[in-house]
């Protein structure tokens, strides 16, 4: 966390290294929570402006990552309060009982296979269908690969409660994708 130390002293180059290392992850965490790539990009910018301004207040440099994600989370919830999130309600289910969600057009590659796209849609729908409380810990754990301890710090809850919710989210996700699991 040498970059954190240098960025704290105002070294813009080190701050850029931090941005390059973490911005994409922050963007995707926010994206999974707000379900809009454009809004996620906007909130990622806000997050890093705040990080730059408040970096001096971070006491332990090796806690940078959970601190960063907590700032991002604050922005997500601020936006939620200002405007209801792009969430799936019970009414928005298709004939198979699957939630109907807007899938943003953010394809990695135009000629990726139909099967790959279908799997991506399934995963996306499944994550979006998780209640907010489970979704955030699931995304931070299963996608961002943060430790339970870090997640507890980010969401401001106890370690056992975070552990239980991640487990429940995993079970719910498995239920949703069971038809796509190869035997």
Query: What is the contact surface with another protein in residues (CB under 8 A)?
Result: 9-10, 12, 15-16, 19-20, 23-24, 27-28, 31-32, 37, 40-41, 44-45, 48-49, 52-53, 56, 104, 106-108, 116, 119-120, 122-124, 126-127, 141-143, 147-148, 163, 166-167, 170-171, 173-174, 177-178, 180-182
Distances in Å between the Cα of 130 and the Cα atoms of 38, 63, 77, 160, 161 are 21, 28, 16, 20, 17
CB of 53 to another protein, least distance (A): 6
* Local structure of residue 140 (DSSP, 8 states): I
CB of 88 to another protein, least distance (A): 16
The SS3 of residue 99 is strand
Toward another protein, which CB reaches closer, 26 or 87? Answer: 26
CB of 157 to another protein, least distance (A): 15
Degrees (nearest 5) of the Cα angle 166, 120, 99?
70
Q: Which of 157, 144, 110 is nearest to 32 (CA)?
A: 144
CB of 98 to another protein, least distance (A): 16
Q: Are 173 and 138 in contact (CB under 8 A)?
A: yes
Toward another protein, which CB reaches closer, 100 or 119? Answer: 119
Strand intervals (E) in 38-98: none
């Amino acid at each position: 966390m040498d970059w954190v130390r240098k960025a704290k002293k105002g070294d813009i180059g080190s701050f850029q290294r931090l941005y390059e290392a973490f911005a994409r992850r922050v963007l995707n965490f926010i994206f999974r929570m707000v379900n809009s790539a454009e809004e996620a990009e906007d909130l990622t910018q806000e997050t890093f402006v705040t990080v730059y301004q408040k970096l001096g207040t971070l006491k332990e440099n090796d806690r940078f990552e959970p601190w960063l994600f907590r700032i991002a989370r604050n922005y997500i919830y601020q936006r939620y309060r200002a405007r209801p999130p792009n969430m799936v309600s019970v009414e928005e289910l298709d004939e198979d009982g699957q939630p109907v969600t807007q899938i943003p057009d953010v394809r990695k590659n135009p000629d990726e296979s139909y099967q790959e796209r279908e799997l991506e849609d399934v995963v996306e729908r499944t994550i979006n269908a998780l209640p907010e409380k489970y979704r955030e810990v699931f995304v931070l754990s299963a996608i961002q690969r943060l430790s339970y301890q870090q997640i507890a710090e980010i969401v401001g809850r106890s370690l056992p409660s975070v552990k239980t919710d991640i487990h429940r989210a995993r079970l719910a996700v498995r239920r949703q994708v069971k038809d796509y699991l190869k035997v």
